[in-house]
A and B are shown apart, each in its own frame.
Chain A
Amino acid sequence: MSFFRINGSLIKNLLGRKPADYEPAEGINGIRGRIAIDTGSCALCGECETHCIVGALRVDSEEETWEINRMQCILCGECTEICPQECLHMSDDPMEPEFAVIADVYHIGEEVETNLQEEEKPEEESLDAAEAIDEKSEDEEAVEEDKAADDSDEEVEEQEDASKETEEAEEGDEESEETEEEQESEEIEEAEEDPAQESEETEEPGDEEADSEDEPESEEEKIEEESDGEEETEESEEPVEPEEEEDEVEEAEADEESLQEAEESQEEPEDPEGEPESENAEESSDEEAGADDESDVEETEEEEASEDEEDISEDEEEADEDSETEAEDDGSDECSEETEESEEAEEPEEDAESEESGEPEVETESGEEDASEEEEAEAESLQEESDDDTENADAEAPSGEEIKKSPKNNPKNSKRRRKNRRKR
């Protein structure tokens, strides 16, 4: 009878034979991995950028960088076929799922590692929690040049261990470098949804809580502080020094997309689509908005985005916003002001640009900040200059300080996240 046809397998299964094979999947040859570039052969011709189907590549012949947005890349391999110099190839290193945008920037040609030490000093004085983050992000950006594994490792260490001096010192140079890179990555991220944004937002609430600094007068400051605070909290349970925070902020804001992803994304499964959209709308209005968590979060994102876009002085669309943000900066506390101002000064155009380019960029950056702190995220996608590595190595020496604290564990974070979500 047909009814009993299945009894055979039923009984077989009953008697202990496991119908499914619980084996880990074997490795696949020819798996599609990240696109890797041989920076020595790249001629910055831009063919890959033109032919990229999803717009994940960005070649800047002025800055001599080649940037790839890892999350936008669909691993199709068209660029590897198109490249006239054949400097692109698909590696065996698979892309892990991430919740924030990762963009890797490579410097083609000579590395630009100048005067990092010199610029550190002026920055050190005005260290603030916000700055710390910025510095950190900047450091990370500036370091992007080689794919050297040690670089990424160093950065990872850097991010985790916010060494004040090294980070601070790097701020100056790194910021400029990072901003360029940030701009590039931001621009690429414009159209993208940024889960990182969400992560940023979540972090920011945490930052606020963690930060012991005064509430910044300007929203940007507040945001920076928040992000700083979060990073610090996440990174280490020890009391966060303002300098560290600043470093973290700067670094995080600048470029740590990959870093942020790991932390932020894991912690907060927010809807990336919703955030970029809401943030876009909010960013434009947030700069002048009051100190809402959301607005702060958004501003932070904007600030972060703006930091990235600092070097995009050519964009004048948001010049007004820049002046606004700058004005806000002026009104803040000394410490925070200094930090933020320095950051904001870099950011004015960024803010404008960030708004223009879309909040996804901003968010991603903020997400990057958060992610930067996580070693795992950092290690995976960071490609940093050797200069920063050295600095980072110093900064990361006290690795015990930074212990990643999942935003999820922070109840306030989750509340704010939900609150922010609802507002959106």
Chain B
Amino acid sequence: MKNNTEMSGGSGSFLSIEACELLDQVKTLKEDGWRFCQACADYVEDGIELIYTFENAAKLLSLKTVVEEEQAVDSITFVFWTAFDAELDMARDCGVRFKHVAEEHLRDFYDVADISYSAESIRSDMEALTAHRDYRQMMYVAERMAGTSSFGHSLGYCMAVEKASGIEVPVRGQYLRIILMELSRIQSHLYWLSSVADRIGFESLAMGFLSVREPILTMFDHISGNRIMLSLCKVGGMKKDISQQQLEDIRNTLENLRERIQALTLLIKEDASIRRRLEGIGILDGKTAEAFCRGPAARGSAVMTDARMDENWSLYKTLGFVPIIEEAGDGLARCRVAVEEIYQSFTLVENAIEKIPEGDICTEIKTLSAGEAVIRLEQPDGQAVYYAKTADSDYIKKFRVSMPTDTNLLAYVRVMKASDPVDRPLTSLTMDPCRNNVEW
């Protein structure tokens, strides 16, 4: 399998270990500063294969181990409590049995009197479709796992399969993907801010955000024929090109939008009434954020984490990307992160349009090659991790998505527990959960 031999090579290498070594390796990784990213299980000939992925600022590293069915595996929750959710998934998907689960932390879930949480989601059923849909069709399935972040899912799926199969995407295709990803981030953040404003009661601000979001969706409509489910990615590149004229239109639209968005976001940042509602609610301290969440929620608590700093996303460095950090850790800080990210995405898109080269947008592929890969991607609501295992056929063996809300779940629950019941709706929104991913 590709990527298997690299230990310290590119981001996303795989290392096979024995089941008994698992806990020791994980502890070593933790000492080295790695953080837990995702874990999944899959049936193989010898039994069940467990894949644990860890991350640091720029790299991903995966440990693989094969256990027999009914064999009890050491739970790593004592080392990384965030693995609890992933282990629940593994137990449910493949019947893996874990021993020594750090049960005292279960109080996080079961002690909350007025919040109930269910780890079920539609995600696993959609992932199971890999048996019935070939790799081209699975893109559409992956795309439909979420709403406003649908482009990110299609992109993550394609990148994971490409990496697993050793397919290179032409440079123009990469640029197009980044342009669309950042536009998708802009519209998702605008929607998020609109829902926060609406929850505060500031309806005209909410409508203002939505009306500012409309030109972006219209641009999507012109580019791909759809407003949200773009269906523009495919394994190997992009399905449709964006013409120079359309790129110019995008640039002009963003220019015109900048001023309108500034008027609205100024309110979020500085208006006294909004500040009174958002300031000081849902405080997420840096330590919890570092351990338990990613994405804007973590960056609002001064944690330097962004999937776009990963090595796979080298193009972002060329475009001048820097993560946006806020210190306060409350709801207002997270909204400020969203606001600044909107402006940053504007800049990234404009830079990409300037620098985009001519060329192919897609590589031709006959069929996939066997391999596996893990990709992390900065979705608007957090960090999503995509794991794909391919075979020498049109059907991929396994595809697993770790949604941003899954990643942030424990931080979310802690924040909600600690907050005043009156503030909970707004707190929940500032953490930007996505109901497609986890049922509440």
Our pick among A9, A19, A20, A31 for the contact of B225 (Cβ within 8 Å) is A31
With an 8 A cutoff between CB atoms, is B136 at the interface?
Answer: yes
With an 8 A cutoff between CB atoms, is A5 at the interface?
Answer: yes
Q: Shortest distance in angstroms between A19's beta carbon and chain B's nearest beta carbon?
A: 8
With an 8 A cutoff between CB atoms, is A75 at the interface?
Answer: yes
Q: Shortest distance in angstroms between B237's beta carbon and chain A's nearest beta carbon?
A: 13
Decide if B140 touches A53 in the complex (CB within 8 Å): yes
Measured between alpha carbons, how far is A384 from B271 in the docked complex, in Å? 63
Measured between alpha carbons, how far is A53 from B137 in the docked complex, in Å? 6
Give the one of A5, A30, A74, A76 with max B CB within 10 A: A76
**Chain B: CB-nearest residue to A10:** B204
Give the one of B225, B270, B273 with max A CB within 10 A: B225
Our pick among B221, B263, B266, B271 for the contact of A31 (Cβ within 8 Å) is B221
Decide if B263 touches A9 in the complex (CB within 8 Å): yes
- Interface size class of chain B, counting residues whose CB lies under 8 Å from the partner chain: 20 to 34
With an 8 A cutoff between CB atoms, is B226 at the interface?
Answer: yes
Measured between alpha carbons, how far is A106 from B134 in the docked complex, in Å? 27
Decide if B266 touches A78 in the complex (CB within 8 Å): no
| 6 A-B residue pairs with CB within 8 Å | A2-B270, A28-B221, A28-B225, A30-B224, A51-B136, A53-B141
Our pick among B140, B225, B275 for the contact of A30 (Cβ within 8 Å) is B225
With an 8 A cutoff between CB atoms, is B322 at the interface?
Answer: no
Q: Of residues 185 to 221 in B, which have CB atoms within 8 Å of A's CB atoms?
A: 208, 211, 218, 221
**Chain B: CB-nearest residue to A54:** B140
Convert A1-41 into 0s and 1s, putting 1 for each residue whose CB lies closer than 8 angstroms to a CB of B: 11101100100000000011000010011111000000000
Measured between alpha carbons, how far is A9 from B205 in the docked complex, in Å? 11
Q: Of residues 216 to 274 in B, which have CB atoms within 8 Å of A's CB atoms?
A: 218, 221-226, 231, 239, 263, 266-267, 270-273
Closest 3 CB pairs of A and B: A32-B225, A53-B137, A2-B270
**Chain A: CB-nearest residue to B227:** A28
Decide if A30 touches B266 in the complex (CB within 8 Å): no
With an 8 A cutoff between CB atoms, is B133 at the interface?
Answer: yes
- Interface size class of chain A, counting residues whose CB lies under 8 Å from the partner chain: 20 to 34
Decide if A78 touches B272 in the complex (CB within 8 Å): no
Measured between alpha carbons, how far is A386 from B222 in the docked complex, in Å? 37
Q: Shortest distance in angstroms between A93's beta carbon and chain B's nearest beta carbon?
A: 13
Q: Shortest distance in angstroms between B361's beta carbon and chain A's nearest beta carbon?
A: 14
Decide if A53 touches B267 in the complex (CB within 8 Å): no
Our pick among A5, A53, A75, A77 for the contact of B270 (Cβ within 8 Å) is A5
Convert A208-243 into 0s and 1s, putting 1 for each residue whose CB lies closer than 8 angstroms to a CB of B: 000000000000000000000000000000000000
Chain B residues near A20: list those with CB within 8 A: 211
Q: Shortest distance in angstroms between B135's beta carbon and chain A's nearest beta carbon?
A: 11
Decide if B140 touches A74 in the complex (CB within 8 Å): yes
Measured between alpha carbons, how far is A121 from B221 in the docked complex, in Å? 53
Chain A residues near B137: list those with CB within 8 A: 51, 53, 78
**Chain A: CB-nearest residue to B134:** A51
Measured between alpha carbons, how far is A2 from B211 in the docked complex, in Å? 23
Decide if A1 touches B272 in the complex (CB within 8 Å): yes
Chain A residues near B272: list those with CB within 8 A: 1-3
Chain B residues near A78: list those with CB within 8 A: 136-137, 140
**Chain A: CB-nearest residue to B231:** A76
**Chain A: CB-nearest residue to B143:** A76
Q: Shortest distance in angstroms between A49's beta carbon and chain B's nearest beta carbon?
A: 13
Measured between alpha carbons, how far is A50 from B239 in the docked complex, in Å? 20
Q: Of residues 289 to 326 in A, which have CB atoms within 8 Å of B's CB atoms?
A: none
14 other A-B residue contacts (CB within 8 Å) besides A9-B263, A20-B211 = A2-B271, A2-B275, A6-B267, A19-B211, A31-B225, A32-B226, A53-B133, A53-B137, A53-B141, A74-B140, A75-B225, A76-B140, A78-B136, A78-B140
Decide if B271 touches A3 in the complex (CB within 8 Å): yes
**Chain B: CB-nearest residue to A8:** B263
Decide if A5 touches B271 in the complex (CB within 8 Å): yes
Measured between alpha carbons, how far is A3 from B266 in the docked complex, in Å? 11
Convert A57-93 into 0s and 1s, putting 1 for each residue whose CB lies closer than 8 angstroms to a CB of B: 0000000000000000011111000000000000000
Decide if A5 touches B266 in the complex (CB within 8 Å): yes
Chain B residues near A30: list those with CB within 8 A: 222-225
Our pick among A5, A25, A75 for the contact of B267 (Cβ within 8 Å) is A5
**Chain B: CB-nearest residue to A26:** B218
Convert A85-108 into 0s and 1s, putting 1 for each residue whose CB lies closer than 8 angstroms to a CB of B: 000000000000000000000000
Chain A residues near B263: list those with CB within 8 A: 9
Q: Of residues 97 to 144 in B, which have CB atoms within 8 Å of A's CB atoms?
A: 133-134, 136-137, 140-141
Measured between alpha carbons, how far is A80 from B211 in the docked complex, in Å? 34
Q: Shortest distance in angstroms between A18's beta carbon and chain B's nearest beta carbon?
A: 12
Measured between alpha carbons, how far is A3 from B133 in the docked complex, in Å? 55
Q: Shortest distance in angstroms between A108's beta carbon and chain B's nearest beta carbon?
A: 24
**Chain B: CB-nearest residue to A94:** B225
Measured between alpha carbons, how far is A19 from B209 in the docked complex, in Å? 12
Measured between alpha carbons, how far is A32 from B208 in the docked complex, in Å? 28
Chain A residues near B275: list those with CB within 8 A: 2
